[in-house]
């Protein structure tokens, strides 16, 4: 038995053909599953009962199971789901919906847990439970739409897990989500984030440039510091994936796709905001068209190693003593941004959406 949410249209056509069913039926099934979000075989529209019965002998449709839904003060929503994959075993994952006036962004998880081990990330403290299937990835989007009634306008693969360590499932899910006969989300509204792995960014550039519906998918590098020594403390795997090599691959990505790159940069006060950091970031921003997203360091409920342990406690205390989200109320943060802008760096300050419910960047970890 196979979950119909796993299949791209091309793969579904092959499956249907092997069963001796006319090829055009695959398109009908795909539209019902991925555009209309059919919850079971009998909900598939436009097919006779006999075909539905035959499909039921080979396939099923399995939405995720919602465990809890939590809403933050800023209306961000976090969803705790349990997967239902019979072969791989059930695991719990978290997804986030960031709600703005004319924009609804779903933050998608690609793994249950993560084995990259970033020192600042709660998900990394979980370790890796397993990779998610393409069906489990797309189901987060479909089920959040069903639960809230909000049609997502943007997707960011920035939830639990490292997308490039579950590469094939991520690519398959992107093909499904951008297919014009299915969910039909324009690829320019999708961002895939990675810590950075040698040879993987090049492959990603090749794969999306060769597929018209994926060609505008954006890439974000979780940079966080331009200092190799500090980066290796914060992101242990970067010892094997040095920044100079990653920069080479980013240049390749831009030349291959023409897509601007985003650098995600968590602000660690006193650690990655020196004049040297500003100068290096300025040089980096001139290498290829890019922008830098500055993200406040969000506190996590785990014991961290120095130098983040002291900083984590300081921010916990700051939030505890404030009635508002105080993470953006830092003169040093705005001074850092001003210094970057004075060097003509394109900088965006990302808000801490959902920080009060542990739904902000770096905070996702199954706690229930």
- pLDDT tens by residue, 311-353: 666 665 555 555 444 555 578 899 999 999 999 999 998 876 6
pLDDT at 324: 46
Tokens of 192: 């895939």
The residue with greater pLDDT, 217 or 116, is 217
Residue 198 has pLDDT above 70, yes or no: yes
As its CATH architecture, domain 2-60 has: Orthogonal Bundle (1.10)
- Portions of the chain given CATH number 1.10.150.530: 2-60
Is residue 15 part of the annotated active site? The answer reads no
Q: How many CB atoms lie within 10 A of CB 127?
A: 11
- Of the candidates 6, 62, 94, 136, the residue annotated as catalytic is 94
Residue 98 has pLDDT above 60, yes or no: yes
- Report phi then psi at 90, rounded to 5: -80, 140
Cβ proximity of 44 and 38 under 8 Å:
yes
Q: Which residues contact 261 (CB under 8 A, 6 or more apart)?
A: 218, 219, 220, 221, 250, 253, 254, 288, 289, 290
Residue 153 has pLDDT above 80, yes or no: yes
Cβ proximity of 129 and 161 under 8 Å:
no
Percent of the chain with pLDDT over 70: 87
Longest Cα–Cα distance in the chain = 70
> Can you tell me which residue has the tokens 């998918």?
217
Residue 182 has pLDDT above 90, yes or no: yes
Segment 72-95 shows an average pLDDT of: 86
State pLDDT tens for residues 215-229.
999 999 999 999 998
CATH 3.90.1150.10 fits 65-357, yes or no: no
- Portions of the chain given CATH number 3.20.20.70: 65-357
- The HSE-up count of residue 49 (CA atoms within 13 Å, CB side) is 0
- Of the candidates 107, 118, 121, 361, the residue annotated as catalytic is 361
d(CA 172, CA 207): 11
Is residue 94 part of the annotated active site? The answer reads yes
The residue with greater pLDDT, 361 or 206, is 206
Percent of the chain with pLDDT over 90: 69
Cβ proximity of 262 and 221 under 8 Å:
yes
d(CA 250, CA 143): 33
Buried b vs exposed e over 52-80: b needs ≥16 C-beta within 10 Å?
Answer: eebbeeebebbbbeeeeebebebebbbbb
Cβ proximity of 246 and 287 under 8 Å:
no
pLDDT at 233: 87
* Average pLDDT across the chain, whole number: 89
Cβ proximity of 236 and 280 under 8 Å:
no
- Indicate the pTM of the whole model: 0.91
Strand partners, 141: none
Under DSSP, is residue 340 helix (H, G, I), strand (E, B) or coil?
Answer: helix
């Amino acid at each position: 038995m196979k979950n119909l949410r796993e299949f791209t249209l091309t793969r579904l056509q092959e499956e249907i053909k092997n069963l001796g069913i006319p090829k055009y039926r695959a398109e009908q099934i795909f539209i019902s599953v991925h555009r209309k979000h059919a919850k079971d075989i009998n909900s598939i529209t436009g097919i006779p009962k006999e075909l539905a019965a035959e499909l039921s002998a080979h396939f099923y449709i399995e939405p995720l199971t919602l465990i809890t839904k939590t809403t933050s003060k800023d209306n961000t929503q976090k969803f705790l789901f349990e997967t239902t994959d019979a072969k791989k075993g059930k695991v719990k994952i978290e997804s986030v919906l960031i709600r703005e006036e004319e924009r609804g962004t779903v933050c998608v998880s690609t793994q249950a847990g993560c084995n990259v081990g970033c020192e600042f990330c709660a998900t990394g403290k979980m370790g890796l439970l397993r990779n998610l299937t393409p069906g489990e990835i797309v189901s987060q989007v479909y089920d959040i739409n069903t639960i809230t009634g909000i049609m997502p306008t943007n997707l960011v693969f920035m939830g639990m897990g490292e997308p490039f360590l579950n590469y094939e499932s991520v690519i398959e899910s992107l093909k499904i989500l951008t297919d014009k006969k299915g969910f039909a989300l324009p690829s320019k509204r999708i961002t895939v984030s990675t810590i950075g792995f040698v040879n993987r960014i090049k492959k990603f550039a090749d794969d999306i440039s060769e597929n018209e519906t994926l060609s505008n998918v954006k890439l974000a590098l979780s940079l966080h510091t331009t200092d190799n020594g500090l980066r290796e403390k914060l992101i242990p795997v970067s010892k094997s994936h040095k920044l100079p090599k990653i920069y080479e691959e980013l240049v390749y990505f831009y030349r291959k796709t023409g897509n601007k790159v985003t650098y995600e940069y968590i602000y660690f006060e006193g650690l990655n905001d020196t004049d040297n950091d500003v100068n290096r970031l300025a040089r980096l921003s001139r290498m290829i068209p890019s922008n830098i997203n500055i993200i406040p360091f969000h506190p996590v409920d785990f014991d961290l190693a120095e130098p983040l342990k002291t900083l984590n406690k300081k921010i916990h205390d700051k939030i505890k003593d404030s009635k508002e989200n105080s993470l953006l109320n830092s003169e040093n943060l705005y001074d850092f941004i001003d210094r970057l802008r004075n060097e003509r760096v394109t900088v965006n300050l990302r808000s801490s959406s959902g920080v009060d419910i542990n739904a902000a960047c770096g905070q996702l970890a199954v706690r229930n």
